[in-house]
Chains A and B, each alone.
Chain A
Amino acid sequence: NAGVMQNPRHLVRRRGQEARLRCSPMKGHSHVYWYRQLPEEGLKFMVYLQKENIIDESGMPKERFSAEFPKEGPSILRIQQVVRGDSAAYFCASSQVGQGLNTEAFFGQGTRLTVV
């Protein structure tokens, strides 16, 4: 049973380029969460998605960032016109539906984005 798969593991972009981060949840999981971890800081919630729906994007910056979870394929976190401050580790987590607040989330290995 494969875990949460994220790719790429490392991504380098020049300022102004676009970054696309992919996440495939664990088999049987229909909830996907994206978190960002800045250097020397804790993880911060960005967005929560189910298939074809954004459920909660309260942690997502209003500009340049978008996320989707299409009916087929992985969830995508897209950052347009990247800036140096976007350099961080981006983690995806998945969980089963309707299991309550004690449901543990399973995390992927993360994508480390470096903006040069």
Chain B
Amino acid sequence: GQNIDQPTEMTATEGAIVQINCTYQTSGFNGLFWYQQHAGEAPTFLSYNVLDGLEEKGRFSSFLSRSKGYSYLLLKELQMKDSASYLCASPRRAIGTAGNKLTFGGGTRVLVKP
């Protein structure tokens, strides 16, 4: 089975840095996705990690440690528009095909305050 845990909520100040942790237990590891979801909107892709280490994309970076079953999403120079839920997700091969299905954590709601 798959189990993904992340904190429910975090609050940070505009301009600061916030780190959102995600721990996972999966039967077979196929990488980890991070998605951003604003209230009432579609989840949008942020990053995908399959190898250990840090991947940087502008103000957002994602880190993976496969031996520890751990990932984090780092948001730097926070802006008000970064207030959203951040979803950690693990892909798993769908039965019988090349497609994959995602198992999501509960999401971390980040509130950025002025």
Footprint of B on A, CB under 8 Å? 3-4, 31, 33, 35, 41-45, 48, 50, 55-56, 58-59, 91, 95, 97-110, 112
Residues of B within 8 A of A101 (CB): 30-31, 91-93, 100
User: Which one of B13-21, B36-44, B72-80 is at the A interface?
Assistant: B36-44
Footprint of A on B, CB under 8 Å? 4, 30-31, 33, 35, 40-45, 48, 50, 87, 89, 91-107
Residues of A within 8 A of B40 (CB): 110, 112
Given contacts A41-B106, A56-B94, A101-B91, contact A48 B43 (CB under 8 A): no
Quick check: B105 and A55 within 8 Å, CB to CB?
no
Interchain residue pairs A-B with the least CB separation, the first 7: A107-B42, A42-B104, A56-B94, A101-B30, A104-B45, A42-B106, A98-B98
Residues of A within 8 A of B107 (CB): 42
Residues of A within 8 A of B106 (CB): 41-42
Quick check: A105 and B102 within 8 Å, CB to CB?
yes
CA distance A8 to B96 in the complex (A): 31
**Closest partner residue, chain B, to A112 (CB atom):** B40
A interface: dominant SS: loop
Given contacts A42-B87, A101-B93, A102-B31, contact A56 B101 (CB under 8 A): yes
Residues of B within 8 A of A44 (CB): 104
CA distance A31 to B31 in the complex (A): 20
**Closest partner residue, chain A, to B6 (CB atom):** A42
| Chain A proximity of B57: nearest CB distance (Å) | 13
| Chain B proximity of A49: nearest CB distance (Å) | 9
Partner pick for A43 among B45, B91, B102, CB 8 A cutoff: B102
Partner pick for A45 among B35, B41, B98, B102, CB 8 A cutoff: B102
Partner pick for B48 among A58, A91, A104, A106, CB 8 A cutoff: A104
Quick check: B42 and A91 within 8 Å, CB to CB?
yes
Can you sample 19 A-B contacts with CB below 8 Å? A33-B101, A33-B102, A42-B87, A42-B104, A42-B107, A43-B87, A43-B89, A55-B99, A91-B43, A99-B98, A101-B30, A101-B100, A102-B91, A103-B100, A105-B45, A107-B44, A109-B41, A110-B41, A112-B40
